[in-house]
Structure 1
Amino acid sequence: MTSASNTFAVKPFRIDLGSEIPRLKSLVKNTRLPAKDLSPGDVGSDKISYKGLSLDSLRGLQTDWVENFDWETQQAELNQFSHYTVVIEEQTVHFVHQKSKDPDAIPVILLHGWPGSFHEFSPIIKTLTESWTSAFGKNVSYNVVVPSLPGFVFSSVPPANWTLDDTARIYNTLMTDVLGYSTYTLHATDWGSVLGYSLYSSFNTTVRGAHLVMIPFPSPSPEEIVANNITLSDVQKVAQQRAIDWSSTNGGYYTEQTTKPNDIGLALYDSPVGQLAWIAAIMKLASDPRAGTPPSVLDNTAILTSVSLYYLTESFLSSVWIYAQNANSLHFVYTKPPTDAPLLFSLFEYNPAFWPEEYVAKIGNLVSYKVHDFGGHFAGLDNPPALIGDIREMGLYFKA
């Protein structure tokens, strides 16, 4: 680690949103839902389907939000982390910077997507700072940095035409010029994977390791996999089918947020239950069906905390604009960037996107491809122990 620059004024930050809770609870309590299911088709009584969140599921979450959810407890848990803000290129960047006691700790930046936030990584942050010894005797620990994407929760709204490549640039500045790390690693999911791959590709002298659970390339079709004589494991077959189902039946929110972000953003701006219905549907459908049972911590409290952060920071509208501003972010030609930095990939069985090892190897210096039979899209909540283990493995390949 080098000395951090004095050019940037890093300010300690503390979450303090409790004053808005009485109004939030009142809105949630007084939101009228249908007395009975008015859907002309079956969406299930207590499960999520591709037709949307069931009335029973939403009503249960609504009741839980009013009667059982304790924002002060969740806020206190989030404030156990070290939060900061800094202005880079006129953008206020909120970030967690949790440092290890180990002087040789490796810097890692964790990159979330939508409908996530820094909260998505809260189960893994402190454990990653702790020393771990591999079977080969190498000690690994991390200094963990978790920024909020522009327009998400406590980070400022970006200007027009701002893309994830722009975010990559200011995040590299955050890691190097602000925090003083000459080299670092990254973990990324969802939109964070687009951002993470931009960092991996464009900042090859500073990014010296990447762990991804998604890549910004189209998933190969089943016919393509067969034509290339690729054999899939049973878990991979489930993941492949999940990806097929998702792409064919669950693109409505993606289309809406890419083409009409202001419509959905304004419609739900002051409707916490509306935001809950929109976000909970994605969180439930994209996660493991066993979510909320160990090792998953993706339960109602996690969902309500996520939605509360969006609502209380008034960032739902600005967050959905990430789709419109990055509508052309998918790479359609598999090419390797000019870097020798190690790339690691983890496949979680119920993540609704699928790439076999042979395809991930086309886009980087792939050194590890792990398959997990538990977990989904939100791995930090869906299977924290597995994600911690895979990020720790990245430290075995890291060379500053």
Structure 2
Amino acid sequence: MFLALKLFCVVATAFTTASASNILNVKPFRIDLESEIPRLKSLIKNTRLPAKDLYPAAGLDKGLPLDSLRQLQTDWLENFDWGTQQAALNEFSHYTVVIEGQTVHFVHEKSKDPGAIPVILLHGWPGSFHEFSPIIKPLTESWTSNAGKNVSYNVVVPSLPGFVFSSPPPANWTMDDTARIFNTLMTDVLGYSTYAIHGTDWGSVPAYTLYSSFNLTVRAAQLVFIPFLAPSPEEIAANNITLSDIQKVAEQRSIDWGTTDQGYFTEQTTKPNDIGLALYDNPVGQLAWIAGLMKRASDPRAGTPPSVLDNTAILTSVSLYYLTDSFPILYAPLLFSQYEYNPAFWPEEYIAKIGNLVSYKVHDFGGHFAGLDNPPALIEDIREMGLYFKA
């Protein structure tokens, strides 16, 4: 789907971490989508839903239940305030820069600590920079480990090409290209000679490329997803790997996802125009498509502490997608986190084969969207990366 950039530039300020040649390209950015809200509200209000659910007893197994969609539609129309959410998102420092002809939108929040580690956080689908909003500011704050080491971060959160405020890539664009321009963003534009990385879902693809191919600049990585097929139960058993109870839940989630949600993935990857054009000007349709995935891929306890993945978070994510036309051998230390309800599972023994694994954690709360589903755990995991970071 084509991306309509909505740029609102504020008074230019000095961008002290960039070189002189790049200062001219970096522009402060502010989200301003209020003018689109009346039409969005009209479309939501005038969307007619079926009178009854075709699969009333199936729950999420057959997709988002009608009652759930109807409640989200009502919340979107009557209770959700885009102005409040937009103001909260604008509390972050946003910028855009043109790299290799691509407009890259990114959040850049700096720590007050002069020794802060630069880190880039890469989101997935159907996510955006909003996926990390609960953890950005906490990561900039100083934290002291049990061993007395101080860790804080200068946090960079770009929007992947074609997502929300980043321009759509050309047809021959690859995730290796995305990794390359993000390395340029961190080094040439922001002036960081070395940095750490976190990636999830689709963002794990350029994250792992950065980890494996840009290892002179990427000095530590923390992932919750990897771009490799998860091992089958037979493979795990054949390698005499013993799983904990939490890992068994994650393994079953991975099996279930591969059998019942593979159609969703196939449609997105092979026929993006069909689903993109079908839902392009249908916000409630996008809501059903995205909210169903977010609910199925999250911890069943989503919305209860520590999770902040509630209806407001879902509606903010879908609003961003609709309003911006964006629906469609290694030595650096590697840290990995397995969340109990993430619909993909890799045992520690497999992760150890793809990098210098120094930490493998299993969390008993959380799912695919860790930044929303269990913010405190993800903050802790990313902070731990700082203990292994060496510039």
Distance 2:190 2:309 in 1: 31
The 5 Å alignment of 1:144-223 reads 144-223=155-234
* Offset, 1:43: 4.9
Alignment match of 1:362 (pick from 353, 359, 367): 353
Contact persistence 1:43–1:54 (CA under 8 A): no
Distance 2:161 2:254 in 1: 28
Q: Deviations over 1:244-301 (max 9, x none)?
A: 0000111112111111111111110000000000000100000000000000000000
Q: Aligned pair 1:387/2:347, yes or no?
A: no
* Offset, 1:161: 1.3
Distance 1:43 1:120 in 2: 31
Range with greater deviation from structure 2 (246-255 or 2-11): 2-11
* Offset, 1:362: 0.1
Partner of 1:329: none
* Offset, 1:48: 2.1
Q: Percent identity?
A: 83
Distance 2:57 2:180 in 1: 43
Distance 2:275 2:326 in 1: 13
Distance 1:198 1:170 in 2: 12
Q: Aligned pair 1:74/2:90, yes or no?
A: no
After superposition, the Cα gap between the structure-2 partners of 1:212 and 1:90, relative to the gap in structure 1 and judged at 3 Å, is same
The 5 Å alignment of 1:64-143 reads 64-143=75-154
Distance 1:381 1:3 in 2: 29
* Offset, 1:4: 2.6
Range with greater deviation from structure 2 (284-293 or 211-220): 211-220
Partner of 1:26: 42
Distance 2:189 2:71 in 1: 44
Q: Deviations over 1:311-354 (max 9, x none)?
A: 0011113xxxxxxxxxxxxxxxxxxx3x3100000000000000
Distance 1:3 1:141 in 2: 17
Partner of 2:338: 347
Distance 1:370 1:57 in 2: 33
One-letter code of the match for 2:346? W
One-letter code of the match for 2:20? N
- Alignment TM-score, normalising by the size of structure 1: 0.92
Ranges in structure 1 where 5+ consecutive residues have no aligned partner: 318-336
Q: Aligned pair 1:299/2:291, yes or no?
A: no
Ranges in structure 2 where 5+ consecutive residues have no aligned partner: 1-15
- Alignment TM-score, normalising by the size of structure 2: 0.94
Q: Aligned pair 1:5/2:16, yes or no?
A: no
Distance 1:21 1:58 in 2: 20
SS of the residue aligned with 2:351?
helix
Partner of 1:323: none
Distance 1:399 1:19 in 2: 46
Distance 2:251 2:88 in 1: 36
Distance 2:231 2:270 in 1: 25
Alignment match of 1:256 (pick from 263, 267, 280): 267
Range with greater deviation from structure 2 (98-107 or 252-261): 252-261
Partner of 1:270: 281
Instruction: Compute the RMSD of aligned alpha carbons.
Output: 1.0
* Offset, 1:42: 4.2
Query: How many residue pairs align between the two structures?
Result: 374
Contact persistence 1:112–1:118 (CA under 8 A): yes
